[in-house]
Amino acid sequence: MDLELASRYIDFREECRSWLQANNPGQIASMDTPEGFEVHREWERVLFDGGWSVPGWPTACGGRDCDLIEWLIYEEEYWLSGVPGRVSANGVNLLAPTIFNFGTQEQQDYFLPKMASGEHIWAQGWSEPEAGSDLAAIKTKAIRDGDHYVLNGQKTWCSRGAFADWIFCIVRTDPEAERHAGLTYLLVPADAPGMERRPIGRLDGEPGFAELFFDNCRVSVDNVLGEEGQGWAVAMAAAGSERGLNLRSPGRFMAAVERLTALVRAMKEQDHDVDARLRDEVTDAWIKAQAYRWQTYQLAAGLMEGAEIGSEASLGKVFWSELDLELHATALRLLGDTGEVVDDNDWLDGYVFALSGPIYAGTNEIQRNIIAERVLGLPRR
């Protein structure tokens, strides 16, 4: 065991920190508004031009070939610096690993650089009205017609779907097959003829996600990722990334708990009473962020030696989503009767967003089933 950072990592952290400081655009509009979406796309371009949009990717695809430790440091610095969030997160964190694993050379050459630069912002089209936790119940059909598929059906809860340029979907290419069989992973351009999208107001009122309607929508067969009929296996490779450290790295929560302790200190300086119970909650959140950090460094050490994350990713997903919720709830309790005021209230925004954590990327109930059955080996039925 060696928990000291080698000097090259310390230099890397410094380089990362000074670049973010120098290029921080400050507060910009929410990415889930039409204008905010485009401002966030510009921020993606700034990151890309600086070489910081996808540091973990190979240099040939716009990255800087960072190892996992560097990537974790980058994430820590990213969130600590207070720069805007990533409108490209769904693509970069969830789709890109799948393209690297399953994409043809042509697909990799075409999609990855455009994703890295923010030219293509991606949304996820997996859930359907009747296929949420039970994802294998997907009904949207894609029937082969020459060199195209013809799509009919509906997707929903499609995050960033209102403004995204591309959607990565799972569709049923074999209508005779049931459940996990006969599914295909398909990349759908947002301007595909026959697709209509309807924004859905999220809990905060912004069009954070969308419904997609396919009415004889034609998509080229070149846009299949992996093999036709192998969609479930291809998708599950990304589900590991989604739940694991890719989507929500510890840096995000480490930064949030630093802001939380700063809030307590600021309140005390202004002679506000912080009762012992709230102080305990704040400390608990701070400790949990460190716990997630060190658990992740432990995972990273294994991954760098060739281990793979399987169902264990579900442990992290439950932990970070509940930590996020608890820490924001604690902040609102600290703010007391001013917590409901929306102006300049990042804690309230953060709380409303955190409420979605235990639901998206597989509800925490599903995650706990996975932990019980696949990590602990309890009987499925």
DSSP line for 68-137? HHHHHHHHHHHHHHT----TTHIIIIIIHHHHHHH--HHHHHHHHHHHHHTSS-EEEE--BTTBSS-GGG
Binding other proteins (rule: CB under 8 A), the pick from 274, 332, 352, 355 is 274
> With CB under 8 A as the contact rule, which of the stretches 203-211, 230-238, 261-269, 335-343 interacts with other proteins?
261-269
**Judging by DSSP bridges, how do beta strands 209-220 and 224-225 pair with one another?**
unpaired
Which residues pair with residue 26 across a beta bridge?
A: none
CA-based radius of gyration for the chain: 21
Query: Does residue number 59 form part of the binding site for other proteins (CB under 8 A)?
Result: no
Handedness of CA 25, 74, 208, 198 (dihedral sign): positive
Binding other proteins (rule: CB under 8 A), the pick from 290, 310, 336, 341 is 290
Query: Does residue number 268 form part of the binding site for other proteins (CB under 8 A)?
Result: yes
In the block, residue with structure tokens 């990415």: 31
Task: For residue 261, give the nearest of 324, 184, 323, 334 by alpha carbon.
Answer: 334
Binding other proteins (rule: CB under 8 A), the pick from 2, 147, 191, 343 is 2
Query: Does residue number 335 form part of the binding site for other proteins (CB under 8 A)?
Result: no
Nearer to other proteins, 157 or 292 (CB): 292
**Judging by DSSP bridges, how do beta strands 195-200 and 141-145 pair with one another?**
unpaired
Of the residues 75, 76, 242, 281, which is catalytic?
242
Query: Does residue number 252 form part of the binding site for other proteins (CB under 8 A)?
Result: no
Query: Does residue number 4 form part of the binding site for other proteins (CB under 8 A)?
Result: yes
DSSP secondary structure code for residue 230 in this structure: B
Question: How many chain residues touch other proteins (CB under 8 A)?
Answer: 50
Nearer to other proteins, 96 or 285 (CB): 285
Least Å distance, CB 78 to other proteins, is 18
Task: For residue 87, give the nearest of 15, 29, 128, 127 by alpha carbon.
Answer: 29
Least Å distance, CB 330 to other proteins, is 12
Distance CA 274, CA 260 (A): 12
> With CB under 8 A as the contact rule, which of the stretches 108-116, 202-210, 248-256, 274-282 interacts with other proteins?
274-282
Distance CA 157, CA 199 (A): 9
Task: Give catalytic status of residue 242 as yes or no.
Answer: yes
Binding other proteins (rule: CB under 8 A), the pick from 144, 179, 265, 272 is 265
Query: Does residue number 227 form part of the binding site for other proteins (CB under 8 A)?
Result: no
The site for other proteins (CB under 8 A) is made up of 1-6, 9, 69, 261, 264-265, 268, 274, 279-280, 282-284, 286-288, 290-292, 294-295, 297-298, 300-302, 305, 312, 315, 318-319, 365, 367-369, 371-373, 375-381
Active site residues: 242
